[in-house]
């Protein structure tokens, strides 16, 4: 095994029983997978546990991988599915309000004004935003995390999730709206020290 080998070559070596190649893949991808898991579950220990589960799944299912295709989307798909399965197992029954953002439109009129004097610390917005992400339905959460945290393009997300690029665009749009609605809800409830303008 050579450390400069491509992911696909390493995967083929893992299929052939090379544990060193597997170790190299874990080393390469532990951080992005952990980042994905952390943004999906919001808790370090669980995220690390999930990351480990992803790599064990990877090892167990590596023979399903076709070395003629790209490895990264395949791994991310395993990771997303593992995270979503964990979240569903945890929640058992998932309740969504009928007026959830899934069904409604976003009232963009209530977005906070951005002015120097009302400028909020970016860290606060980040913290609040990622809490909002954790309140999103799992599938939308995955879309947002893949796009912004793993910096995937629409085409890469489509390849990862096994859906069309057009479908990604539709889902991403819904995910954005969903996120905005949750974020504005948090702002309106005063969980965030930020001035919310009521209407125009």
Partner 1 sequence: MKCKQVDDLLFSYCDLREIPPMMLRELEEHLQECPECRRKAEFTAREREALVYDGDIPEMSPDFVQRVLAAVAQEQTVPAPSRKTTIWSQIGSRGWWAIGMVAVVVIALLIAPDSFKNPVQTPNTEMQIMESERQPVAMLAGKMPQQQEQETASEPVRIMPEHSYKERVPSLQIGRGNQSATYGSPPAGEQVVVFSPSYIPEDYRLVRVESDAENNITIYYENDRDGYICLRAVQKSMAGMAAHETTADMDTVEGYYPLARYNLQADAATDSEPTVIRWSTEHDGQHYQLELTGSLSPEELIRVANSVK
Pick the binder of partner 1 from 15, 131, 134, 185 (CB under 8 A): 15
Window 118-137: residues binding partner 1 (CB under 8 A) = 122-123, 125-127, 129-130, 137
Q: Is 188 in the site for partner 1 (CB under 8 A)?
A: no
Q: Which is nearer to partner 1, 10 or 183 (CB)?
A: 183
Q: Is 61 in the site for partner 1 (CB under 8 A)?
A: yes
Contacts of 132 (CB under 8 A, 6+ apart): 179, 182, 183, 186
Other C-beta atoms closer than 10 Å to the C-beta of 55 total: 20
Window 82-121: residues binding partner 1 (CB under 8 A) = 84-85, 88-90, 92-98, 100, 102-103, 106, 108-109, 111-114
Work out how close the CB of 141 gets to partner 1 at its nearest, in angstroms, rounded to a whole number. 11
Q: Which is nearer to partner 1, 64 or 190 (CB)?
A: 64
124-130 LR contacts (CB < 8 Å, sep 24+): 124/192, 124/193, 124/194, 125/192, 125/194, 128/183, 128/186, 128/187, 128/191, 128/192, 128/194, 129/179, 129/183, 130/39, 130/42
> How many residues of this chain interact with partner 1, rule: CB under 8 A?
72
């Amino acid at each position: 095994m050579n450390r400069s080998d491509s992911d696909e070559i390493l995967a083929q070596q893992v299929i052939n029983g090379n544990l060193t190649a597997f170790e190299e893949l874990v080393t390469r991808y532990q951080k992005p997978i952990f980042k994905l898991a952390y943004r999906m579950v919001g808790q370090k220990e669980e995220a690390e546990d999930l990351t480990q589960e992803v790599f064990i799944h990877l090892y167990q299912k590596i023979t399903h991988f076709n070395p003629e295709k790209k490895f990264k989307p395949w791994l991310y798909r395993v990771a997303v599915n593992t995270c979503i399965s964990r979240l569903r197992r945890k929640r058992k029954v998932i309740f969504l309000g009928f007026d959830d953002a899934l069904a409604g439109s976003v009232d963009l009129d209530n977005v906070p004004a951005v002015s120097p004097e009302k400028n909020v610390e970016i860290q606060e917005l980040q913290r609040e935003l990622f809490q909002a992400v954790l309140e999103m339905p799992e599938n939308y959460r995955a879309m947002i995390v893949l796009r912004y945290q793993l910096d995937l393009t629409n085409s890469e997300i489509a390849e990862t999730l096994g859906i069309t690029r057009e479908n990604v665009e539709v889902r991403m749009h819904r995910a954005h709206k969903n996120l905005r609605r949750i974020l504005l809800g948090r702002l309106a409830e005063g969980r965030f020290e930020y001035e919310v303008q009521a209407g125009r």
